[in-house]
Amino acid sequence: MKALDGIKILDFTHVQSGPTCTQLLAWFGADVIKVERPGVGDATRKQLIDVPGADSLYFTMLNHNKRSIELNSKNETGKEVLTRLIEECDVLVENFAPGALDRMGFTWERIQEINPKIIMASIKGFGPGKYEDCKVYENVAQCAGGSASTTGFLDGPPLVTGAQIGDSGTGLHLCLGIVTALFQREKTGRGQKVSCAMQDGVLNLSRVKLRDQQRLAAGPLKEYSQYGEGIEFGDATPRAGNDSGGGQPGRILKCKGWEKDPNAYTYFIIQAAVWESVCDVIGKAEWKTQEGYATPPERLDKLNEIFSAVEEWTTTKTKFEVMDICNPLNIPVGPILSMKEIADDDGLYKTGTMVKVDHPERGEYLSVGCPIKLSDSEVEVARSPLLGEHTTEILSEVLGYSGDDLKRVIDSGAVGEAKA
Ligand code: COA
């Protein structure tokens, strides 16, 4: 059995944020029923196409283990079917633009009337306030949540990150809200509304930068490289390049082959506890006791010199050799892995973190499997559904339509080209 066996999810999500959430729920065993506009479906099905005619990787990698029903929720019969789905499901998840569900006639009040036990989970760009009506995408959330202003180098513009902290990050937050609400429902018997704003999700992940904002009132942030370089602080948390956020000096340094390989780099932290090992490894044993180098505060204005010396050593080694040498000495380092290297990493396939999935339209592709491992709820990654692949099955098996009634729904045009 799986952790969420028996839980039915009405998945009204699209693009990335909502689908990442419902994909996790599906991996934990829930029956996820993805409702899609007839003939159109989730817009990502046809975005960033690499195999003509096939669902895109954008869609397939975010919608594993789900079933798809085509349903026009603005058509009268479609609304009837949606009402039946709300009656049958434990959770409705949506990430439409603000007000879209209300415009369909399905306000939270109406949804509760239909099924008082249902949990309704929503992602919006902003929480209540002056921006609540805005449509929001990933990078907007990264900017509004404080991440962009604190990412990048001091002398450059704000940067967005490659990690999708606005979309996938908020999907994760929502997923936690849903399982928590399901847990509470066990005791109260009631459903509730779970809301996550993308701005809030990004801010939550940028928490340490708000920590630094407040520390600025007590003086400069000494662990930031700019302090050692004598550059004054302004009134907001600055961009810190590749400084490590935890107070231990850290940088990204070149490794052997960096001239040709854009990813021949390592992260290197000169953790105070292993300073002596660092000195030995890089051939600077004298720094262990030398005045100006022996203690962390003394080193703050010499970080550029120290990291240059470390880099002189790292450029003689590959990023993996750096790891092999430093790990046994507890010196924290990490190779900069390219997506190609990750795709070729057998170890990640063994743990199920990377998976190969077969798809009828596109053949085999790689995907990220479930990153959360439950010892008593195994995940088997199954391909994403084709548009409307399960329409008839859901109408009959989940909602109990049969015979003339099923024919009536299909003939109404509310459910695409489903066959009775
Ligand atoms: N049947 C009939 N109509 C449907 C439907 C269905 N099965 N599914 C969707 N629609 C309609 C919606 O009701 C809406 O109609 P309306 O504008 O008349 O109310 C319309 O399709 C478009 O939906 P919308 O959510 O506005 O899509 P969009 O492409 O214009 O905007 C986002 C996309 C992501 C910007 C927007 O949905 C959003 O801001 N979502 C919340 C934040 C979010 O999750 N952003 C990140 C996405 S990764």
Instruction: For residue 257, give the 3-state DSSP assignment.
Output: coil
The finding on whether 35 has its CB within 6 A of some atom of ligand 1 is: yes
Backbone angles phi, psi at 398, to 5 degrees: -85, -40
| pLDDT of the residue at 417 | 83
d(CA 271, CA 379): 38
Q: How far apart are CA 86 and CA 359, in angstroms?
A: 30
Residue nearest (by alpha carbon) to ligand 1 atom 30:
97
Please report the beta strands in 179-247, taking only residues with DSSP state E, as ranges in sequence order. 193-197
92 lines ligand 1 (CB under 6 A): no
DSSP letter, residue 398: I
Residue 214: partners with Cβ closer than 8 Å, 6 or more residues away: none
Q: CB of 15 closer than 6 A to ligand 1? A: yes
Cα of 154 vs its chain's centroid, Å: 26
Whole-number Å distance, alpha carbon 346 to ligand 1 midpoint, is 39
3-state secondary structure of 209: helix
CB 69 near ligand 1, within 6 Å = no
Within 198-332, strands assigned E span: 250-254, 265-269
Q: Is 2 exposed, middle or buried (CB count within 10 Å of its CB: 0-12, 13-18, 19+)? A: middle
Q: Is 167 a catalytic residue?
A: yes
pLDDT attached to residue 389: 97
Ligand 1 atom with the smallest distance to the CA of 96 is 25
Helix, strand, coil % in the chain, rounded to nearest 5:
40, 15, 45
**Residue 418's pLDDT is what?**
75
In this structure, are residues 379 and 369 in contact, taking their beta carbons and an 8 Å threshold? yes
Instruction: Give nearest CA residue, ligand 1 atom 44.
Output: 95
Side-chain half-sphere CA neighbours of 59 within 13 A: 27
The minimum-distance atom of ligand 1 relative to the CA of 74 is 2
Residue 97 contacts residue 126 (beta carbons within 8 Å): no
Which atom of ligand 1 is found nearest the CA of 70? 7
Using a 6 Å cutoff on CB, does residue 125 contact ligand 1?
Answer: yes
Looking up tokens 């080193």 gives 299
Distance 386 CA to ligand 1 centre (A): 20
Contact yes or no for 108/120 (Cβ under 8 A) = yes
Q: What is the distance between the alpha carbons of residues 51 and 55, in angstroms, rounded to a whole number? A: 8
Predicted TM-score of the model (pTM): 0.96
Between the CA of 111 and the centroid of ligand 1 the distance, in Å, is 18
What's the rounded Cα separation, in Å, for the pair 220 and 225? 11
Q: Which of 167, 200, 212, 243 is catalytic?
A: 167
Among 34, 96, 140, 202, the mutation site with the greatest number of ligand 1 atoms within 8 A of its Cβ is 96
Beta bridge partners of 66: 32
Domains of the chain: 8-205+349-419 (3.40.50.10540), 241-331 (3.30.1540.10)
Q: What is the pLDDT of residue 244?
A: 83
Please state the atom number of ligand 1 nearest to the C-alpha of residue 125.
Answer: 42
Q: Which residues contact 138 (CB under 8 A, 6 or more apart)?
A: 16, 160, 164, 166, 167, 198
Nearest protein Cα to ligand 1, atom 11: 100
**61/175 Cα distance (integer angstroms):** 17
Q: Which helix (H) or strand (E) holds 119?
A: strand 119-124
Show pLDDT as tens, one digit a residue, over the chain (420 residues). 999 999 999 999 999 999 999 999 999 999 999 999 999 999 999 999 999 999 999 999 999 999 999 999 999 999 999 999 999 999 999 999 999 999 999 999 999 999 999 999 999 999 999 999 999 999 999 999 999 999 999 999 999 999 999 999 999 999 999 999 999 999 999 999 999 999 999 999 999 999 999 999 999 999 999 999 999 999 999 999 999 877 889 999 999 999 999 999 999 999 999 999 999 999 999 999 999 999 999 999 999 999 999 999 999 999 999 999 999 999 999 999 999 999 999 999 999 999 999 999 999 999 999 999 999 999 999 999 999 999 999 999 999 999 999 999 999 999 998 776
pLDDT at 420: 66
372 close to 61: Cβ distance less than 8 angstroms:
no
Tell whether ligand 1 has an atom less than 6 A from the beta carbon of residue 104: yes
User: How far is the C-alpha of 85 from the C-alpha of 101, rounded, in Å?
Assistant: 15
Task: Say if ligand 1 is within 6 A of residue 103 CB.
Answer: yes
